[in-house]
Amino acid sequence: MSERRPLTVTAAAALEAAEGVAALGFGAFVAWETVVGEPLDPVTAWAVTGMALLGGFCMLAVARGLLTAERWSRAPTVLTQLFVLPVAWSLLQSDQYAYGVPLMIVAVLTLVLALSGPTTRFLLAAEAGDDDEDEGPDAQTGTGATGKGGPGSRS
């Protein structure tokens, strides 16, 4: 890939990674509280721990996918933010502005960055470059191993 990564991709990946780290931290916190405390429902506590850890690792993988120009990575980035927005709204409705406002800002900013023109062009250009490399040198000349063109060509 010869095209330079736009700042929008780097910023979206950084924000997605920050959310992943936060989810990992939350999962670790719940695990710690489950081990040292007395949870009312240990099964639910461990389920929340597992989901937070799994989600955090997946968000980090998606952030890495954005950085390496994997086109598939944009959909989970957008989906993550669409899940974060109602959580942030709920926090705002319960007067927990210290958590809700930053979460809302990060979600909206990540959505804007992930869906921006430079990000789209970069991911599409990277995919087009990968397709050209996969098809090999014969794909550009239209000749196969025999040196003859495909159907309809004159030899």
3-state secondary structure the chain: CCCCCCHHHHHHHHHHHHHHHHHHHHHHHHHHHHHHCCCCCHHHHHHHHHHHHHHHHHHHHHHHHHHCCCHHHHHHHHHHHHHHHHHHHHHHHCCCHHHHHHHHHHHHHHHHHHCCHHHHHHHHHHHHHHHHHHHCCHHHHCECCCCCECCCCCC
Higher-confidence position of 41 and 136: 41
pLDDT for res 131: 63
pLDDT for res 119: 92
pLDDT band at 155 (very low <50, low <70, confident <90, very high): very low
pLDDT for res 136: 53
- 53-94: pLDDT as tens digits: 999 999 999 999 999 999 899 999 999 999 999 999 999 999
- 84-138: pLDDT as tens digits: 999 999 999 999 999 999 999 999 999 999 999 999 999 888 777 766 665 555 5
